[in-house]
Chains A and B, each alone.
Chain A
Amino acid sequence: MDLNHPMLLASDDPPPFPPNQTQLRRLDRALYCQICKEPFQGPVSIACGHSFCSQCIRSSLESLKKCPVCNETAGEGSIRRNRALEEIVDSWEDARAVMINLSQPQASSSRKRPPPQPTTSSASNDKVKRLRRDEAGSSRSQSPAKRSSGADEDEAIDISSSGGVEDEDEPVLTENDEGECPICSARLAIAAIPLHIERGCPPPKKQVNGSGSGNQKADWKKVFGGVSTAKNKDKEPMKRITKPNYHLATPAELKAILSAHSLPITGDKPALEARVQEWILLYNSNLDTSHPKSLPALRARLNEIEASRKRDKEKGKDALGEQLTTKEGVAKYVKERGGEFERLRKEVLARDSQALARAKGQAGKPIEIE
C-alpha cells in the first residue's frame, strides 16, 4: 500500500522508529495505551496491575467491569493514578525525537540538517563527541537563548543537554519557574524544592513565592486569620463527580448536574444522559493527569465529541441498530430476513426426515455454493 497516502501523513502522530531498531520500538510500544493505541494520557492502574489512559479505562469499565487485557473483574474504585508511568511517558515523549535522530544519524526527514557527513560511522562518532562537549561546556542558562534563535542544527543537542525538555510545550526551566516535587508531585518553585523535601513535603501554599520563611508565614496566617484561606476559593474545586444513577435520575436532576458545570441543558433524556456521562468521564479522567486541561477546554472537547458522534450517525452508521429500534424497522428487517429463517427451517425439517436413512453424500446436499 501507499505509505504516502494523505490520510496516513495527515496524522499528528510522532514518526515511528525504523524497523531495525527493535529494542526502541518495543520500548516505544510499551508506553502505548492498549485501548487507544496512543501514548498514555493520564495513566492509571487498576487492581490487576494493567495500566491504561484514565479516560480509556473509565469508558471501557462503563460497558464492562473487567480488565480489557486479562479479564479480571475491575471497578472504577480500583483506579489509581500511576504517576511514575506518567513521568516515564512524558520524558519519553521528550526524548523520542532525540532517540530517533540518534538512531538514524544521516537521514532525517523532519529536521533540516547540515549537509550529510561523508561516512555514517564517523558522523555518529563526531556527533557523540559534540554532544559530550556540549554537555560539559554549555551552561544551562545559555541554552534558552540558543533555542529561541532557532538554530536547527543545535536543536537536538540543546534538548539533550537541558535534560530532555521539548521546546514548544515546556519552556526551559529556570530557578524561578515552577516545578514538580519528585516525591509528592506538588508544584512549587524549583529553588524551593530541596527545602520542601527536607521538611518532609508539606503542601505548598499557592500565594507565596517560594522561599522557606514565606511558606512559614503563610502557614501561620492560615492558622490565625481564617480570611486568607478564602482567597483560595477562586480556584475551582477539583473533586471527582459522583455518577448519578441513570435509571433513576430524572431529566431535571441531570439538568441540575449539567448546569452546575455550566453545560448546555438541551435535548431529551437520552441526550442529557449521554452528555452527563461523557462529561463525568472527561472531568474525572482530567483529574488523573499532571497536565489537566482547563474547564473551558473540557467543555469544548465535550462539544466536539457530541458533534463528531452526530456526524457519525448522519453517515448512516448503526443503521441496522437504529432500524431495529422502531417497529416498522423491525417489520422491514423480518421481511428481508424472513426468507433466510424459512430456508433454515426447511433445511432442518428435511434433515430430520433424512436422518435415519442417510447416505454419506447426501449430508452436504443443502449447501449452496454461491
Chain B
Amino acid sequence: MFANNTRAQSSTAARRLMKEYRDLTADPLQDMITAGPISEDNMLEWEALVQGPEGTPYEGGIFAAKLRFPSDYPLNPFKMTFDPPLLHPNIYPNGDVCISILHAPGDDPMRYETASERWSPVQSVRSVLLSVLSLMHAPNSDSPADVECAKLYRDDKPEFERRVRAQVKSLLGI
C-alpha cells in the first residue's frame, strides 16, 4: 500500500516514520537494535529487537518489543512494550517501558523529571532505543516502574543479576 503512496498522500506520522525506518535501516545502531513496522499497511505499529548489551546481566539475550505510535506522532511519544516482559526496574511487570524520554511533556505529577528529559518532536525511535540500551546498562532505581525489582536491584544486586540471567536463558529456550 505504501509502495505507491506519495508525499502528499501519506499522513505526517506515516511519512516521518518511513523516514526513521529508512535511517535506522541504512545506519543500524551498532547492530544492537533493529526496528521496523510489523506490516506495510500500518506504519504506526513497529517491532523492535534489542540485543542485551555486553557487560550487563542482559548480555546474550535478544528482547522483542512492540512500539505503538499515536496518529499525531511526532507531537506525542510512542509507547514501548517488551513482549514477553523483561525483568528490569524501569519496566512494568506487563512489559511497558517507563522512561522519561517517552513521557509526554506536561504529565509528570511526581515532578521526578525535568522537562528537558521528556519527549519532544525532535526525539526519534533511534534516540529512545539508545536510551533504553543505556537503561539496561544502568537501571534508574530512583523512579522505578517495577518497585519490587528496583528494590531487589538496590539491595541484592547479585540475586537481581541471577534472576535476569535466568530469564534471559529461559527466553532463549536454553
Contacts and interface: CB of A to CB of B under 8 A. Distances in A.
Contacts of A36: 12, 15-16, 19
Contacts of B139: none
Interface in A275-321: 301, 304-305, 308-309, 311-313, 315, 317-318, 321
Interface residues of A, number: 49
Contacts of B121: 34-35, 56, 60, 68
A166 B35 CA distance: 36
Contacts of B23: 37
A367 B41 contact: no
Nearest to B18: A11
B81 to A, nearest CB: 12
Interface-central residue, B6, B16, B22, B115, by most chain A CB under 10 Å: B22
Contacts of B2: 7, 10
Interface in A57-106: 59-60, 63-64, 66, 68-69, 71
Interface in B1-51: 2-16, 18-23, 25-28, 34, 36-37, 40-42, 44
Interface stretch (A209-217, A254-262, A357-365): A357-365
A369 B69 CA distance: 28
B140 to A, nearest CB: 18
Interface in A1-27: 1, 3, 5-8, 10-13, 16, 19
Contacts of B131: none
A313 B120 contact: no
Given A361-B159, A366-B148, A369-B163, A8 B21 contact: yes
Contact of A69 (B21, B84, B120): B120
A367 B164 CA distance: 11
B105 interface: yes
Given A60-B75, A367-B163, A35 B70 contact: no
Contact of A370 (B5, B18, B84): B84
A367 B71 contact: no
Interface string B136-165: 000000000010110110011001100100
A180 interface: no
Interface-central residue, A34, A59, A367, by most chain B CB under 10 Å: A367
B115 A369 contact: no
A233 to B, nearest CB: 31
B71 A37 contact: no
Given A11-B18, A60-B75, A340-B94, A66 B115 contact: yes
A12 B6 contact: yes
B44 A367 contact: no
Given A64-B105, A363-B152, A370-B85, A315 B44 contact: yes
A352 to B, nearest CB: 13
A34 B122 contact: yes
A10 B40 CA distance: 12
B75 A1 contact: no
A368 interface: yes
Contacts of B28: 1
Contacts of A66: 105, 115, 120
B166 interface: yes
Interface residues of B, number: 65
Contact of B156 (A34, A311, A360): A360
B151 A1 contact: no
Contacts of A315: 41-42, 44
Interface in A331-365: 340, 347, 360-361, 363-364
B132 interface: no
A38 interface: yes
A5 B3 CA distance: 10
Contact of A369 (B25, B105, B170): B170
A123 to B, nearest CB: 27
B91 to A, nearest CB: 12
Given A69-B122, A369-B167, A318 B70 contact: yes
A308 B84 contact: no
B8 A301 contact: yes
9 contacts: A3-B26, A37-B16, A66-B105, A69-B122, A318-B71, A340-B93, A360-B155, A370-B84, A370-B85
Given A301-B8, A304-B9, A312-B11, 12 more contacts: A8-B22, A10-B2, A11-B22, A34-B121, A64-B106, A304-B8, A308-B9, A318-B70, A363-B148, A367-B148, A367-B152, A367-B163
Interface of A: 1, 3, 5-8, 10-13, 16, 19, 34-38, 56, 59-60, 63-64, 66, 68-69, 71, 301, 304-305, 308-309, 311-313, 315, 317-318, 321, 340, 347, 360-361, 363-364, 366-370
Interface of B: 2-16, 18-23, 25-28, 34, 36-37, 40-42, 44, 69-72, 74-76, 84-85, 87, 93-94, 105-106, 115-116, 120-122, 124, 146, 148-149, 151-152, 155-156, 159-160, 163, 166-167, 170
The 5 closest A-B pairs by CB, nearest first: A308-B11, A364-B152, A68-B120, A34-B122, A312-B71
